[in-house]
Structure 1
């Protein structure tokens, strides 16, 4: 027989998540590391003081806090506005260029929308929402009070995701050439200097103690809330969970912005980035 205390906890848990007006709030810390070699000789020639200044400026968009507000089937994921530090120019550095929007998911109706602003223009991006093909593992670990299970997923890299970009390696000897040949099947050339992988492996840690098939960003599809996620150079970790908070939020799909598909939006981003690279090249030629 199970101890009576354990049975009571299970009953309370089932009752909590079965409530019609159930809602939860999860806080996530996101941290991204950057391949500084992508800056080439410019970075190597910097003094230690200049490198520290650069790291301080980059911290605002490499380390962020997000809030996931969720019910049994829908959610909103967005940056914590209280902690989002604006830059001296009134924007948020590179974040204002690449956008930091609101992601909406409805796992019951398979609706995924993202409201985002890019260079002053608002877009409403619709994503095709297919159930992710997670591979469930038996490995476990505790995150706070929750027992979490490991799951992995292989996914195509978003071509506009700068966090996975890296400096192309020079093939100075035969060994490097051989290594490059082996790796070209999973590499996309962005420019003469920059490349990125075609696919990456995502590792998630989810807890069945919160039986909600949801998680940070676009991730979902596991038998429990995702509390930790490792994707490329980015790690996202849940630092706080509040079940049925006193101040509840209305979870509704965003509706403002020019409606585009993810593919159309990526084409817009790619074109703008190419224009900026060309402007930068012209500026260097003049100097």
Structure 2
């Protein structure tokens, strides 16, 4: 079981907002229900295990390694007991070919703090709102 966390993301919007404003979205992480399998394969020098996402309208298959102790992956997928090195989403595949790890001491990650706080729904409604302003 994984702890529920809050995720803060920052976006600078240029596509439909010509002001290039920064937005902050703070939201609870959704529970992703992974079914872990015993199937394994090698990606680069890592032994990976297969997991299938069961609470999605898409067919999602992930290959993760427990050798890298982070619970993240591409395209916003997370929650497995290791780093996702390959992700199949329907017919699309994201695969890491070269993995290079850096010391934690080299990076200082801080949640973003600058920007207008809005909800994800407000961000999705923003193009229509801006269109009606002009």
TM range (shorter): 0.7 to 0.9
1:3-50 Cα distance to aligned partner (Å, 9 max, x none): xxxxxxxxxxxxxxxxxxxxxxxxxxxxxxxxxxxxxxxxxxxxxxxx
Partners of 1:207 and 1:123 lie apart in 2 by 33
Tell which structure's C-alpha radius of gyration is larger.
Answer: 1
- Name which of 131, 147, 167 aligns with 2:31: 131
Map of 1:99-118 to 2, 5 A cutoff? 110-118=5-13
For 1:109 and 1:251, how far apart are their aligned partners in 2? 19
The SS at the match of 2:59 is strand
Question: Would you tell me which structure has more helix in proportion to its own residues?
Answer: 1
Q: Structure 2 residue aligned with 1:142, among 39, 42, 65?
A: 42
Asked whether the 8 Å contact 2:37–2:50 carries over to 1, the reply is yes
Q: Which runs of 4+ in 1 moved over 4 A?
A: none
Q: Deviations along 1:178-234, whole A, 9 cap, x unmatched?
A: xxxxxxxxxxxxxxxxxxxxx212211101122322223422111111111122454
CA contact (8 A) 2:32 2:55 kept: no
Partner SS, residue 263 of structure 1: helix
Kindly tell me the number of residue pairs found equivalent between the two proteins.
124
Cα separation, 2, equivalents of 1:125 and 1:154: 26
Given that 1:110 and 1:129 are in contact with CA atoms closer than 8 Å, whether structure 2 keeps it comes out as yes
Alignment match of 1:252 (pick from 101, 107, 110): 110
CA RMSD of superposed structures (Å): 2.6
Pairing 1:214–2:114 present: no
> Is the contact made by 1:155 and 1:201 (CA closer than 8 Å) also made in structure 2?
no
In the superposition, the TM-score normalised over structure 1's length comes to: 0.39
C-alpha contact 1:206 1:228 (8 A) present in aligned 2: yes
The secondary structure found in structure 2 opposite 1:250 is: coil
Provide the rounded CA distance (Å) in 2 between the counterparts of 1:264 and 1:233: 30
